[in-house]
Amino acid sequence: MFAPKRILVPTDFSEYSDAALKYAIDVAKQSGAKIYLLHVIGLIQSCTVDYCFDQSTLDALEEQSSSSAEDMMKHQLELFPDITSVDITTDVRKGVPYQEILNEQKAKDIDLIIMSSHGKTGLLGALLGSVAEKVMKRASCPVLLIRQPIPKEAVK
């Protein structure tokens, strides 16, 4: 029977990501696996159609995004009070989400990726190609896609 030892859970803090984390926690409790919870902050474009940000503004935006993401990750973990027996490491980084997920998978020798099939991007993500699809096609380990959020009452 497949018993993963290292599970990667990418999160965008959506209710779908909460569902993926819940599944990962359940699997980790049964297998003794360690969970790596990862949030990737997309790269901030320095110029829009009619305006460019200076470097200090970009640096401030990136710092604010990183700090906010770390706070949101703590809040996400607080949704699951029964995780004291599970070893969870968190990481926030910037980059192209699917590439950073695949980099983490290789760097940590991940056995299983558990992620939501979709998240906050909605229609725009569907038109441009989803992170989940790219990860699923390129990962060198099994990928478990969670398609539905869990009801809020099931989290507590």
Go through the domains of the chain in sequence order and give each one's CATH number: 6-155 (3.40.50.620)
Q: Which residues, at least 6 apart from 81, have a Cβ–Cβ distance to it below 8 Å? A: 156
User: What residues form DSSP beta bridges with 37?
Assistant: 9, 90
DSSP state of 81: T
> In this predicted model, what pLDDT tens digit does every residue of 62-118 receive, in sequence order?
888 888 999 999 999 999 988 889 999 999 999 999 999 999 999 999 999 999 987
> Which segments within the chain are labelled E, that is strand?
6-10, 34-41, 88-94, 112-116, 143-146
Q: pTM (2 decimals)?
A: 0.85
> In this predicted model, what pLDDT tens digit does every residue of 47-57 receive, in sequence order?
776 778 788 87
Pick left, alpha or beta for residue 42 (phi over 0 → left; psi -120 to 50 → alpha; otherwise beta): beta
